[in-house]
Amino acid sequence: MPTPSESRLTRVAVAVVLILAPVAVFWRPGLPFFFIRDDWTALIQMSASSWGRYLTTPDGEQWFPVFHLIFYPLVAWAGERYGLLLLLNCLGIGLGAYLVFLFLRRWFALPLSAAAALLYSLAAAHHALAWNAFYLCYLLSLIFFLVALLLTDSYGRQPSGGKVCGIALCAWLSILSHNYTLSGVWALPLYLLCLDGPRRVRSALILSAALGAVYVMFTLGYFAFAGLPALTSHNQSILSRLPGPRYAVHMFYGAILSPFLYIFWGHNHFPVWTYVAASLVLGGCLAVIWSLGEARDRRLALWAASVNLLPFVLVSLARYHRAVTQAFVARYAIFTLLGAGLVAALAWSLLARRWRQTWWFRGGTVLLVAAILAGQGLALPLWQRRYLEMSRTAAACYRQLTAAPTPDVIPPEAFSSFCPTAHPQLSPAQAQAIRQFLQGLPQVAE
């Protein structure tokens, strides 16, 4: 066992590597990234209202005031220096990876925990968050959820009322950063059932009651500031249509299959070989855990599945009637890779107990890691080129549309073709308001 000082030094070194790795992989000062996709919806809202009003404004069916609280001043500070926002996202990915490491360390030895967290940190699927400033909301939601998870682990081992309050607070902040974890936070009391001890059921019930209070607060806030019009803004039939088999298929693809595909590739256009590799690894991990693992190991594997499945109870409900590719959206991988990585690390540790010294186990591990790194490395440049293309198009349109001294002299047809690969389309007045907001200029009176 390492001494306490060695342990601290090791963890500092691991933290530095994990936090800076996404910066080295995804961020370059000279890359001309610019606002794309959902960024424009946020910019329209920011430029049309004050910080206080923007704080409680829904974004489609989502209502996440904590994200708005943080994102508004960040965009106002960065202005058109989009690279600063992307740098913060890269650091956020790294911080999330370090929190993943701290959680894995509760179950596995330091080398396995650090290696799994490093692979998570370098996953090319994170490009969806690293190159889109608006997706800071997912990062904030993940970070608060992981802090809540670490507190839950500590609470399960040594219960206290203060920890329950801390868990509830972090779960609340996670939901208010992005509603993705609205149903996912129930994985926290389920986690307590994975731990040993006679008080685990009682602790899970206490934590469930605290999360119920969080649900009540969120529901009151949602219907006060967003309401049914927001809930049905993108999903008009969500309250009138019962989900069918496509709903279950969407959940399976998004929560179970997708993350194992992302282990070997970086986006939702997967080569055939990734389906083969992902299916073999998924099936092999489950077989190993159920044949070699103890009851505690099986409970942990089931909990890992719940971490991935629970958020998709609502995500799939809102998306299953669209194209099936919606289940493979890359931004979800920042959450689902946690469950997939936990299952893979658990299976590897069980195999290592018996066959660590065999040549075939060592060679197989090297080949598997090499395939993972090769897939991540080959996928990343493809999508970097795509994002750069979208960014250049958006930047060219934005500068053209805001170059005129008044919006009246900008041809209306220019706005109808504004950044066809991004959304939304802007009106002349909105384009000018965004320019003033990003450049810190006083608003022109209407």
C-alpha 54/C-alpha 213 separation (Å) is 25
**What residues contact 424, with CB distance under 8 A and at least 6 apart?**
40, 41, 44
User: What is the domain partition of the chain in residue ranges?
Assistant: 21-393
Cβ neighbour number for residue 340 with a 10 Å cutoff: 28
State the pTM of this model. 0.91
What pLDDT is attached to residue 138?
96
What pLDDT is attached to residue 333?
93
C-alpha 62/C-alpha 226 separation (Å) is 8
What pLDDT is attached to residue 245?
85
C-alpha 383/C-alpha 392 separation (Å) is 14
Q: Which pair of tokens denotes residue 69?
A: 């609280």
What pLDDT is attached to residue 8?
78
Q: pLDDT per position in the chain (446 positions), as tens?
A: 444 555 778 888 999 999 999 999 999 888 889 998 889 889 988 988 888 889 988 887 889 999 999 999 999 999 989 999 999 999 999 999 999 999 999 999 999 999 999 999 999 999 999 999 999 999 999 999 999 999 999 998 888 899 999 999 999 999 999 999 999 999 999 999 988 777 888 999 999 999 999 999 999 998 888 777 766 656 666 655 677 788 899 899 999 999 999 999 987 688 899 999 999 999 999 999 999 999 899 999 999 999 999 999 988 887 777 778 888 989 999 999 999 999 999 999 999 988 888 888 889 899 999 999 999 999 999 889 889 988 888 887 777 777 755 544 445 554 454 555 545 566 667 777 888 888 876 554 43
What pLDDT is attached to residue 405?
52
Q: Which pair of tokens denotes residue 10?
A: 């090791």
How far, in Å, are 203, 206, 213, 222, 310 from residue 217 at the CA level? 22, 17, 6, 9, 20
